[in-house]
Amino acid sequence: MTLAVETVLTPVDGSDTSMRAIEYAVAIAERYDAGVHALYVVDEETTRTASFGDVDDSELAAANEAFIADAHELAPEGVSLSHSSAYGFSAMTKTRHPGSVVLDAAEDVEVDFIVIPRQPVSGDPDEPLGRAAEYVLQYATQPVLSV
Protein backbone atom coordinates (compact mmCIF):
# COMPACT_ATOMS: atom_id res chain seq x y z
CA MET A 1 0.00 0.00 0.00
CA THR A 2 1.45 3.35 -1.06
CA LEU A 3 0.87 6.44 1.01
CA ALA A 4 -0.54 9.30 -1.08
CA VAL A 5 0.21 12.70 0.40
CA GLU A 6 -0.87 15.96 -1.21
CA THR A 7 -0.89 18.27 1.82
CA VAL A 8 0.99 18.09 5.13
CA LEU A 9 -0.40 20.08 8.05
CA THR A 10 1.78 21.32 10.85
CA PRO A 11 0.44 23.40 13.73
CA VAL A 12 2.89 26.06 14.87
CA ASP A 13 3.14 28.70 17.57
CA GLY A 14 6.21 30.70 16.56
CA SER A 15 8.62 28.67 18.70
CA ASP A 16 11.85 26.93 17.72
CA THR A 17 10.08 23.62 18.36
CA SER A 18 7.40 24.44 15.82
CA MET A 19 10.05 25.57 13.32
CA ARG A 20 11.59 22.11 13.68
CA ALA A 21 8.15 20.63 12.91
CA ILE A 22 8.08 22.77 9.75
CA GLU A 23 11.43 21.24 8.76
CA TYR A 24 9.96 17.74 9.09
CA ALA A 25 6.77 18.71 7.25
CA VAL A 26 8.81 20.17 4.40
CA ALA A 27 10.92 17.00 4.19
CA ILE A 28 7.78 14.85 3.99
CA ALA A 29 6.21 17.19 1.43
CA GLU A 30 9.36 17.10 -0.66
CA ARG A 31 9.42 13.28 -0.55
CA TYR A 32 5.78 13.01 -1.69
CA ASP A 33 5.70 16.03 -4.00
CA ALA A 34 3.17 17.65 -1.67
CA GLY A 35 2.51 21.05 -0.13
CA VAL A 36 2.69 22.18 3.48
CA HIS A 37 0.01 24.08 5.38
CA ALA A 38 1.17 25.73 8.61
CA LEU A 39 -1.59 26.43 11.14
CA TYR A 40 -0.55 29.15 13.58
CA VAL A 41 -2.33 28.28 16.85
CA VAL A 42 -2.85 31.28 19.12
CA ASP A 43 -2.25 30.59 22.81
CA GLU A 44 -4.82 30.79 25.61
CA GLU A 45 -3.62 34.07 27.14
CA THR A 46 -3.70 35.88 23.79
CA THR A 47 -7.11 34.39 23.06
CA ARG A 48 -8.42 35.55 26.44
CA THR A 49 -7.14 39.10 25.98
CA ALA A 50 -8.42 39.17 22.40
CA SER A 51 -11.92 38.35 23.61
CA PHE A 52 -11.77 41.57 25.66
CA GLY A 53 -10.41 43.57 22.73
CA ASP A 54 -6.99 44.00 24.34
CA VAL A 55 -4.96 42.41 21.52
CA ASP A 56 -3.81 44.36 18.52
CA ASP A 57 -4.70 42.13 15.58
CA SER A 58 -2.00 43.75 13.46
CA GLU A 59 0.69 42.78 16.00
CA LEU A 60 -0.60 39.21 16.11
CA ALA A 61 -0.67 39.08 12.30
CA ALA A 62 2.86 40.52 12.13
CA ALA A 63 4.21 37.82 14.48
CA ASN A 64 2.48 35.15 12.42
CA GLU A 65 3.79 36.58 9.14
CA ALA A 66 7.35 36.85 10.49
CA PHE A 67 7.32 33.21 11.53
CA ILE A 68 5.86 32.10 8.20
CA ALA A 69 8.47 34.15 6.32
CA ASP A 70 11.19 32.23 8.17
CA ALA A 71 9.39 28.98 7.41
CA HIS A 72 9.33 29.82 3.68
CA GLU A 73 13.12 29.90 3.76
CA LEU A 74 13.11 26.21 4.75
CA ALA A 75 10.92 25.13 1.85
CA PRO A 76 12.69 24.26 -1.39
CA GLU A 77 11.28 25.73 -4.57
CA GLY A 78 9.14 22.68 -5.35
CA VAL A 79 7.29 22.71 -2.01
CA SER A 80 4.45 25.19 -1.60
CA LEU A 81 3.80 26.56 1.88
CA SER A 82 0.41 27.99 2.76
CA HIS A 83 -0.73 29.12 6.19
CA SER A 84 -3.64 30.16 8.34
CA SER A 85 -4.17 30.94 11.99
CA ALA A 86 -6.72 29.96 14.61
CA TYR A 87 -7.43 30.67 18.23
CA GLY A 88 -6.66 27.49 20.17
CA PHE A 89 -9.16 28.31 22.90
CA SER A 90 -12.50 30.00 23.35
CA ALA A 91 -13.96 31.82 26.32
CA MET A 92 -17.43 30.97 24.99
CA THR A 93 -17.05 27.40 23.75
CA LYS A 94 -15.71 24.89 26.27
CA THR A 95 -15.21 22.22 23.61
CA ARG A 96 -12.74 24.40 21.68
CA HIS A 97 -9.35 22.91 22.40
CA PRO A 98 -6.03 23.29 20.53
CA GLY A 99 -6.29 19.67 19.41
CA SER A 100 -9.79 20.07 18.04
CA VAL A 101 -8.68 23.26 16.27
CA VAL A 102 -5.88 21.30 14.57
CA LEU A 103 -8.19 18.48 13.53
CA ASP A 104 -10.82 20.94 12.26
CA ALA A 105 -8.12 22.62 10.15
CA ALA A 106 -6.98 19.21 8.90
CA GLU A 107 -10.51 18.56 7.67
CA ASP A 108 -10.96 22.06 6.20
CA VAL A 109 -7.66 21.98 4.32
CA GLU A 110 -8.10 18.28 3.43
CA VAL A 111 -4.66 17.24 4.62
CA ASP A 112 -3.24 13.76 4.25
CA PHE A 113 -0.52 13.90 6.91
CA ILE A 114 0.06 15.84 10.14
CA VAL A 115 3.39 16.78 11.72
CA ILE A 116 2.93 18.07 15.25
CA PRO A 117 5.43 19.35 17.81
CA ARG A 118 4.96 17.20 20.89
CA GLN A 119 7.19 18.81 23.47
CA PRO A 120 6.07 22.18 24.82
CA VAL A 121 8.77 24.82 24.64
CA SER A 122 8.78 25.69 28.34
CA GLY A 123 7.99 22.19 29.55
CA ASP A 124 4.53 23.46 30.52
CA PRO A 125 2.02 20.86 29.29
CA ASP A 126 -0.63 23.59 29.13
CA GLU A 127 1.02 25.29 26.14
CA PRO A 128 -1.28 24.98 23.15
CA LEU A 129 0.82 22.67 21.00
CA GLY A 130 1.69 20.45 23.95
CA ARG A 131 -2.01 20.08 24.68
CA ALA A 132 -2.85 19.61 21.02
CA ALA A 133 -0.33 16.83 20.45
CA GLU A 134 -1.97 14.26 22.71
CA TYR A 135 -5.40 15.02 21.31
CA VAL A 136 -4.25 14.84 17.69
CA LEU A 137 -2.35 11.60 18.30
CA GLN A 138 -5.52 10.04 19.75
CA TYR A 139 -8.14 11.29 17.30
CA ALA A 140 -6.55 12.08 13.94
CA THR A 141 -7.63 9.95 11.00
CA GLN A 142 -4.51 10.93 9.06
CA PRO A 143 -1.02 9.61 9.75
CA VAL A 144 0.68 11.76 12.41
CA LEU A 145 4.37 12.34 13.03
CA SER A 146 5.08 13.75 16.47
CA VAL A 147 8.39 15.61 16.71
The CATH number that applies at residue 63 is 3.40.50.620
Alpha carbons 52 and 48: distance in angstroms, whole number: 7
| Domain-embedded: residue 2 | no
How many domains, in total, are found in the chain? 1
- Does residue 69 contact residue 75 with C-beta atoms inside 8 Å? no
In angstroms, the CA 6 to CA 29 distance is 8
Reported as type and span, the H/E element at residue 56 is none
What average pLDDT does range 9-24 have in this prediction? 91
Residue range of the domain that includes 23: 7-146
Which is higher by pLDDT, 140 or 99? 140
Query: Would residue 37 count as lying in a domain?
Result: yes
pLDDT digits (tens, 9 = 90+) for 47-77: 555 444 555 567 667 777 888 888 888 888 8
**pLDDT averaged over every residue in the chain:** 81
What percentage of the chain carries pLDDT values higher than 70? 73
Segment (H or E) for 134: helix 128-139
Residue 88 placed within a domain: yes
Q: What is the pLDDT of residue 105?
A: 94
| Higher per-residue pLDDT: 130 or 26 | 26
Distance CA 147, CA 133 (A): 10
Domain assignment present for 38: yes
Does the global pTM surpass 0.85? no
What is the per-residue pLDDT for 62?
A: 74
pLDDT at site 19 = 92
Higher pLDDT, residue 49 or 146: 146
Residue 1 domain-assigned? no
- Domain presence at residue 34: yes
**By the 8 A CB rule, do 32 and 61 touch?**
no
pLDDT in tens, 105-139: 999 999 999 999 876 545 554 566 777 888 899 99
In this prediction, residue 52 carries a pLDDT of 47
